Homo-oligomer: A and B are copies of this chain.
């Protein structure tokens, strides 16, 4: 397993270290997170790791398979649709209820869009994944409602896991333009339009998923061997083992 977090993250807590690893797509769905393994990484006992896992399970980020271990969730197609539906409901609701965009808020959004642009230019895909999710959290932060921010943060984490599972290619530019359009509408003060654009944007991303693709049980091995990812052409009848 790759190092799931820098050492300094001991301060911020095990939970956030793992979530941060997911948000930046360093941790893949289905990754096993053994208690003793994580415990030694953070130089603590299994007890604290377990407590962190319990919290993460509550947040829908990891799941436990009894006596087998903890795993980063691999959302099913159904769950994926629910996550997107929930995000549509919440984000659209947020924007619709917004009344004004403060100059401070506008600056933050512009700064974020600039970061997106820079990451696209640099081709830093990991950073890009993180930023694309963060955009929606930034919007929630404008409302000042920390409850909704936390909810959206967890949904974003799940979204990233979903895209790692079902997204064949990542149209970063398309998403970026979507974000720009939303911000533009907000600057016009037309929050209903922003809400509609947000729904469209999420629809667009969801449509880009291939939800028929079964989660690939060999993904991590494939990745370790530097093989190309599973092609969308042969999704369902891929052989379990390679025949010689």
For chain A, residues 39 to 76, give those with C-beta under 8 angstroms from any C-beta of chain B.
Answer: 50-51, 54-55, 57-60
- Measured between beta carbons, the chain B residues less than 8 angstroms from A146 are 82
The residue among A83, A89, A145 with the most chain B CB atoms within 10 A of its own CB is A89
Contact across chains for B88 and A90 when beta carbons are under 8 A apart = no
Q: Which residue of B lies closest to A85 (CB)?
A: B145
Q: Is A227 an interface residue (CB 8 A)?
A: no
Please measure, in the bound complex, the distance between the C-alpha atom of A19 and the C-alpha atom of B92, giving whole angstroms: 29
The residue among A60, A94, A151 with the most chain B CB atoms within 10 A of its own CB is A151
Give the contacting residue for A148; candidates B86, B94, B97, B143; CB below 8 A. Answer: B86
Instruction: Tell whether A89 pairs with B58 under 8 Å between CB atoms, given A50-B51, A51-B50.
Output: no
Number of copies of this kind of chain in the complex: 2
Q: Is A147 an interface residue (CB 8 A)?
A: yes
Contact across chains for B83 and A88 when beta carbons are under 8 A apart = no
**Contact pattern, A 77-111, Cβ under 8 Å of B = 1, otherwise 0:** 00100110110111011101100000000000000
Please measure, in the bound complex, the distance between the C-alpha atom of A85 and the C-alpha atom of B145, giving whole angstroms: 8
Contact across chains for A88 and B97 when beta carbons are under 8 A apart = yes
Q: Give A98 Cβ to nearest chain B Cβ, in Å.
A: 10
**Contact pattern, A 144-160, Cβ under 8 Å of B = 1, otherwise 0:** 01111001000100000
- Measured between beta carbons, the chain B residues less than 8 angstroms from A57 are 55
Q: Give A14 Cβ to nearest chain B Cβ, in Å.
A: 12
> 13 new A-B pairs (CB below 8 Å) besides A51-B51, A60-B147, A82-B145?
A54-B55, A55-B57, A58-B59, A82-B146, A82-B147, A85-B97, A85-B148, A86-B147, A86-B148, A88-B97, A89-B94, A89-B145, A92-B93
